[in-house]
Amino acid sequence: MSRPSTGGSGNRVTPGEVSPELPPVEIVYPSAVPGAWPHNMSGSYTLKGDLAGLENGAMELQESPGKPAVVDIDDPRPPGPEREPDGGLRRWESAEALNISLHQAARDGDEEVVKKVLSRFSGNLKRKKINELDEEKLCPLHYAARNNDYQMVKLLVENGADVNRKGEDDTRAIHFAARFRRLKREQSEEQINEAVLSQQDSVIQYLVSQGVHVNEKDYYGQTALHFACIRDNATAAQDLLRCEGINVEAKDKQEMTALHLCAIHESNEIGAMLIAAGANLRACEEELLTPLHFACQSGNLKLAQMLFDAAEKLDGWVTISQMVTDQDNDENTCLHMAVDNGELELVQLCLEKGADVNRPRTNFATPLHLACVSGNLDIVKLLLAHNARSNALNVNQEAPIHKAASFNHAHVVKYLLEKGAQVDRREKDNFTPLLLAASEGHVETIQMLLDNKANIAAVDKYDKTAIYWAAQEDRLDALQVLLDHPLAESLLEESDRYDNTPLHISAEKGYLGCVKALLDKGAYIDTKNEEEQMALHLAAKSGRTKVVRELVKRDKTIINGEDENSCTPLHLASIAGHTKVVQVLLEAGANIEARNTNGWTPLDCAAAEGWTKTAMALLDDDSPVDPTDKAKTTPLHLASSRGHVEMVELLLKWNANIALKNDAGLNCLDLAIDNGHKDTAAVIVNDENWEMAMRNKTTDLATGMATTPMRKLIRKMPSVAELVFNKCTTSNGLNPEHKKYEITFNYEFLDDMYAPWLQDIDSEKMSIMSGESNEVYDKENYVKEGVQAYSTDSNVLKKNHPLQIMVISKREHLLAHPLSTSLLRHKWTKYGRYIYYFSLALYLLFLTFLTGYLVTVRPPYVDSADNETQASWERWSTNNTSVILVFTVVGKFIILGLAAFHIIKEVVQMFVQRSDYLTVENLLEWTLYTLSVLFVIDLKAEDWISSTQPMKENWQWEVGAVAIFLAWMDLILFIRKFPRFGIYVVMFTDILTTFLKFAVVFFLFVVAFALCFYALVSNQFSFRTVDVSLVKTAVMMIGEFEFDSMFHTFEDKGDLAEYSDQLFYGPVTYIIFVVFLIVGSIIIMNLLVGLAVDDIKGVQEEAVLERLAMQVDLTLDVEQNLPEFIRKRFVRKSETMRPNGIHTTALKAWLFSDSATSAQAIAKALNPEKTEIEKLQEQQEELMGVVNELRYRVKNMKYQNDRLEELLNALVDHSGLKVDEEDKIEHEVRWRRHESINPMANVYHAFRLKRTVHNV
């Protein structure tokens, strides 16, 4: 290839230079040597884009006016035999060296390479390679067919290529041939004719001759003929139509024939071929569209004419009349399609062929309706000239004039009116053309209608006039035209069905221009709607600041107007949180203390909705902080009950009264807790006046007992309760390890049975005392004389104690808090331990003498025993006379006295606890003491005083056995409340409870096996009766089987064997015994063990909670049983302790030190280490803070951008500039990455395409 001259306007560009004067360039591969560019870099290339730099040598651009620039690329190979001069180039690399694939060679049309590649394979491997699909899912035959390379196709087929091989979407070679088949013409003007076609080999006909079915379909159901029609490939279509068996009526998945596609893609030449081949002129696709429909829809006049001509030749007007009346699924005829597309000539053609000008489609729209929508006056005239009805109605009862008015086609409206259209025709919603034009703001149409006497007072079904609609849609220009009408002034106060006037609706939507226009025209500013709201109310409620400012500037007397709920505009603006509107109203003199029907001030409204900025504006303008409504609700109550944290913080900052209560007796903290707003409760607790909020009493509806915020927090918000505990625990500020480090515990809210706010006193006195607590405590923080507990029922005091609530609610971390442990320590050290140990000592004394009495007293069976047994007993009694004297004579009276004492105590406890007294433990104690008295009492008078060997009846001895068992069991229950041992008792009771639940199932197994053994081996002594068999089977469950005694006693005794030793039903007995062994000994026992382990695991997991719960139960039980005058002496408001105090001796340090109240434990409790979850939560909160900050900044930036846009728009309007927003230049940069094997990649790497175009 010769190198073009570099003269003329060529520009030399060196690497790295940018030539801004160079024209856009596009790289196009050399067309003169197809397939040769992979091997040769030299040649001329057409470029598009901008030259940005060159990496590998220089290039020359040849620039010609009106033509693309041409670039010459030097051959990068060194001179030599491999490089040929201008005459031509020979390949210096073999196919193997270039690693060219068979697909690439077929695509490039290189037969030699294809032959070389195929020569390396044979047999099945060759067929596999030649039919293999590449990444594009194409085989070599597909590429050859696409290039219409007859020789390549023939070569591939002869070497085993499958002519029916499917590619992507099931396309075959014949489909590609139909898409890309072109006649190679020497001159572009040459006509296709038989002579030329006969000179070229047809790939399509060759494929058909090799077994391809001409009607094969792809995935979408399209045949090769469909593809030819889509690409307007007349040559391929003619080849296909020559094929035998071609189906011109083949349909794809959308039921389209080839003729449909010709109509869509304007393949008129092929359409003529198909018509000549006898294609069905009225074929329907899935939506019943015919080729004529598509021709009219796409504006294909030529094909439509051919269809009509063919129909006329077929059978005259019969087929034509059918064609013009054919309808699709939406009942569109060809005339509808032509009108909708705006094709005047097609419309005229359809009308000439007899199309019905008034034929409606599905929504009853006629062609005239469609013409009025598009605004094509010529088509409208043509349709009316063919007798189209000017007042035809569609499904919405709209006439054509409605459509023309809706789309602002004033010239069409004028023509329709001239042809008799009704100017005030109404549709189904009572809209006239004027109302539609006004709602859309079509000034020209409005003027046209008014000039033609349209009724300006007409209203729609919502009673809205044209003026109303223009004001509602902010159509200022249209509104001005309407207001200039002579009757406009009388329509300014015409309202809709809700009594809203045009001023109401424009003010509500914030259309300042419309508001001004209406007011200037004389609209009343104080007109009210059905809710007694003026335009100012609606503007304030909707946040229309500019409108509000305009309204109050015009008339300040309306600023405090009230609606039906007595809400002023300031109320409505506060409810909606429109701060700027509030500020405008306040500046204009709005009453900041006005109240609505609920008794709410504007501050109440803002607080209820949580609008902090609005509330700040009101407070800055001297709004009262604590106004109360009819229910004594304050803004702080409203904010707390609805969880508005920031609002609560703001009100507390402005010194809102934290102790005020509503008419239900609830303060702000109660409301926050009752409504589940934890964050709000935390804010109140962290306030400096938090103690006043804690001092409140209400009634718990669930229990009927008095409750306080402290109790509610423990039940519902333990984390906030912990904050209160921390605030009740204060230090003197010294280091926790300092010897004088002091901690003060405030028990006022945790031990509050004498708190004044819990007393049942009248409400007036209560309101005076609310927030005060010091009057019930003396200087030493002890309860004064004469103060009574809030309840005389000690059981209520125990159940309702905050410590007991912690136990019931399982608040382990609160029970372990230093405040709770210090209170327990105080109660335990002051009186609890003395009473408990005294009671324990009395019971141990009773148990000792009862046990001794049972051991030393003479058993009744001794008298009936043999002489040896009696002699043995006499010897023991003689040697232990003193022991018998102590336990039998003296001990009898001690047992009776202690039993009587405990019985009296139980009676007193019964009266105190009432229904709560009925527990298993109390029943056990009654049984114990009653049986003890029956056992000890002597039935003979002479045994009362001096007898050391009282005679006992057999029943008394049995009673004694039961009594001693219950006595020791009661000791277990007694020490259960002792934390160190009680945990094991809890384990036992839990396991016992679980076993009792399983006992029914267990008993059924025992009964089943016991009856079976009784039936089989009842001759044996162990199973002689049913009851004995039951006991024996139960014993066998734990492993005492006695296998030999059951099965081998008869063999062991031999001749000495008796009837009771025999086994009569051996096989069955063996089987039942094995089943019993598996079920009873293995399955059931393992099940019981598993249940026990699970119970123990549960207790161990809650061991700390159980231990603390036992301490609380023990302490409160002791306190409950104390007389009030004693109990009151030990109740304190606060206590100060030195955890690092020096004990005089090691014994005192061991006895009186408490690890739970040590300095280290207190410091750790007040400043606990954060868990991983808490750390993650903290990080998440920090991240949320950052996100919120970014969100605020973005919102602020958006606001500033909006302001800038408004200012720029105002500047543009003021300057009279016009900005065409549609003239925008879009820059698109496409980066193409090529494989390094492609030599053209060097060109792409050499250029960095950049283009900057500035249109000013």
Digit-coded pLDDT (tens) for 131-155: 999 999 999 999 999 998 999 999 9
Of residues 1075 and 985, the one with the higher pLDDT is 1075
pLDDT band at 1080 (very low <50, low <70, confident <90, very high): confident
Q: State mean pLDDT over 902-908.
A: 87
The per-residue pLDDT for 633 is 96
Interval 564-584 mean pLDDT: 96
Percentage of the chain beyond pLDDT 90 is: 48
Say whether pLDDT at 303 is over 70.
Answer: yes
Beta bridge partners of 61: 11, 71
Is residue 1011 included in any domain, yes or no? yes
3-state secondary structure of 834: helix
Residue at a domain's end among 244, 279, 294: 244
pLDDT of 978 over the 50 cut: yes
**CA-angle at 1063, arms to 1062 and 1068, nearest 5°:** 175
Q: Does any domain span residue 1106?
A: no
Question: Is the pLDDT reported for residue 121 higher than 90?
Answer: no
Interval 503-515: pLDDT, tens: 999 999 999 999 9
Average pLDDT, integer, range 940-949: 61
Sequence-separated (6 or more) residues with CB below 8 Å from residue 974: 840, 843
Are 106 and 192 in a shared domain? Answer: yes
Residues 925 and 897 in one domain: yes
Query: Across residues 844-850, what is the average pLDDT?
Result: 93
pLDDT at 591: 96
**Domain assignment present for 924:** yes
Give dist(CA 1116, CA 824) in Å, integer: 9
Structure tokens of 237? 């279509």
> What pLDDT is attached to residue 88?
38
Average pLDDT estimate for 52-59: 37
- 1093 and 1012 fall within a common domain: yes
Asked, for residue 1223, whether it belongs to a domain, the answer is no
Do the domain assignments include residue 164?
yes
pLDDT band for position 119 (cuts 50, 70, 90): confident
| 627-637 pLDDT tens trace | 999 999 999 99
What pLDDT was estimated at residue 40? 37
Q: Residue 698: beta bridge partners?
A: 707
Mean pLDDT along residues 1193-1215: 81
Residue 200 clears pLDDT 50, i.e. is over it: no
- The dihedral of CA 844, 848, 853, 859: what is its sign? positive
Residue 8 predicted with pLDDT over 70? no
Q: Mean per-residue pLDDT for 1192-1216?
A: 81
How deeply is 748 buried, as exposed, middle or buried, from its count of CB atoms within 10 A (0-12, 13-18, 19+)?
Answer: buried
Mean pLDDT in residue range 951-956: 83
- Provide the β-strand partners of residue 743: 731, 1137
What pLDDT is attached to residue 32?
Answer: 36
Nearest CA-CA partner of 424 in 461, 451, 453: 453
Predicted confidence at residue 870, as pLDDT, reads 61
Q: How far is CA 1245 from the centre of its chain?
A: 49
pTM for this prediction: 0.71
At 180, the pLDDT band (50, 70, 90 cuts) reads confident
Give the model's pLDDT for residue 1085.
Answer: 80
CA distances from 763 to 670, 689, 772, 803 (A): 18, 22, 15, 28
Give percent helix, percent strand, percent coil of the chain, each to the nearest 5: 55, 5, 40
Of 244, 267, 284, the residue at which a domain comes to its end is: 244
Interatomic CA distance for residues 1150 and 379, integer angstroms = 111
Give the DSSP letter of residue 746: E
Question: Residue 979 has what pLDDT?
Answer: 63
Q: Find which of 863-867, 1053-1057, 1179-1183 is predicted with most confidence, using mean pLDDT.
A: 1179-1183
∠ CA 955-957-959, nearest 5°, is 70
- The structural domain count of the chain equals 3
Residues 954 and 1018 in one domain: no
Q: What is the CATH number of the domain that holds 110?
A: 1.25.40.20
Q: What's the CA gap between 405 and 424, in Å, rounded?
A: 12
Least confident of 103-107, 206-210, 441-445, 1209-1213: 1209-1213
Cα three-residue angle 1038-1039-1040, rounded to 5 degrees: 105
Which among 1038, 1071, 1101 is the end of a domain? 1101
pLDDT(984) > 80:
no
pLDDT recorded at residue 1225: 36
**Alpha helix (H) ranges present in 277-399?**
291-298, 301-315, 317-325, 334-341, 344-352, 367-374, 377-385
Identify whether the C-beta of residue 340 lies closer than 8 Å to the C-beta of residue 370.
yes
Higher pLDDT, 388 or 972: 388
Give yes or no for residue 676 having a pLDDT over 90: yes
Over residues 243-260, the pLDDT tens digits come to 999 999 999 999 999 999
* Look-up of token digits 């043999």: 866
What does the mean pLDDT of the chain come to?
Answer: 81
Task: Evaluate whether residue 187 is within a structural domain.
Answer: yes
Cβ atoms within 10 Å, residue 1201: 10
Q: How many helices (H) and strands (E) does the chain have?
A: 64, 9
Same domain, yes or no: 937 and 967: yes
Tokens of 27: 């790289």
Q: Is 1060 exposed, middle or buried (0-12, 13-18, 19+ CB in 10 A)?
A: middle
Question: Mean pLDDT throughout 1196-1222?
Answer: 75
Whether the CB-CB separation of 1112 and 807 falls below 8 Å is answered with yes
1080 contacts: CB under 8 Å, gap ≥ 6: 1005, 1009, 1033, 1036, 1037
Do 1005 and 960 fall within a single domain? Answer: no
Residue 1130, pLDDT > 90, answer no
Owning domain of residue 886: 836-975
Q: Give me the mean pLDDT over the 908-926 stretch.
A: 81
Q: Is residue 190 part of a domain?
A: yes
Mean pLDDT to the nearest integer, 597-622: 96
Question: What confidence category does residue 1165 fall into, taking pLDDT thresholds of 50, 70 and 90?
Answer: low
Pull the structure tokens for residue 1025: 């009766």
Residue 983 DSSP code? H
pLDDT number for residue 897 = 92
Residue 80 has pLDDT above 50, yes or no: no
* Residue 1227 pLDDT: 39
d(CA 844, CA 974): 10
Q: Are residues 1026 and 1066 in the same domain?
A: yes
What are 738-787's pLDDT values in tens digits? 888 888 999 999 998 888 877 764 444 444 344 444 578 888 888 888 88
pLDDT at 442: 96
**Helix (H/G/I), strand (E/B), else coil: 9:** coil
Q: Is the pLDDT of residue 529 over 70?
A: yes
Do residues 223 and 117 both lie within one domain?
Answer: yes
Identify the pLDDT of residue 787.
Answer: 85
Nearest CA to 211 out of 249, 140, 162, 143 is that of 162
Strand order in the sheet with 729-731: 729-731, 743-746, 1134-1137
- Residue, of 482 and 63, whose pLDDT is higher: 482
Q: How far apart are CA 978 and CA 984, in angstroms?
A: 10
Q: What letter does residue 22 receive in the DSSP assignment?
A: S
Whether residues 999 and 873 fall in one domain: no
Mean pLDDT lowest for which of 61-75, 669-683, 688-702, 1048-1062?
Answer: 61-75
CA distances from 606 to 570, 597, 611, 770 (A): 10, 16, 5, 27
105 and 227 both lie in a single domain:
yes
Q: 584 pLDDT exceeds 60?
A: yes
pLDDT band at 1219 (very low <50, low <70, confident <90, very high): low
Q: Are residues 1019 and 886 in the same domain?
A: no
pLDDT at 30 over 80: no
User: Six-digit token pair at 415?
Assistant: 């023509």
pLDDT band of 1121, cuts 50, 70, 90? confident
Cα torsion at 416, 418, 419, 423 (round to 10°)? 60
Please tell me whether residues 868 and 962 are part of one structural domain. yes
Residue 1071: inside a domain: yes
**Helix ranges (DSSP H) in 532-675:** 535-542, 545-554, 569-576, 579-587, 602-609, 612-620, 635-641, 645-653, 668-674
Q: HEC profile for 173-222?
A: HHHHHHHHCCCCCCCCCCCCCHHHHHHCCCHHHHHHHCCCCCCCCCCCCC
Tell me the pLDDT band of 385, cut-offs 50, 70 and 90: very high
Mean pLDDT of 647-665: 95
Give the DSSP letter of residue 1023: G
Return the half-sphere exposure (C-beta side, CA atoms, 13 A cut-off) of residue 953. Answer: 9
Least confident segment among 57-71, 334-348, 527-541, 664-678: 57-71
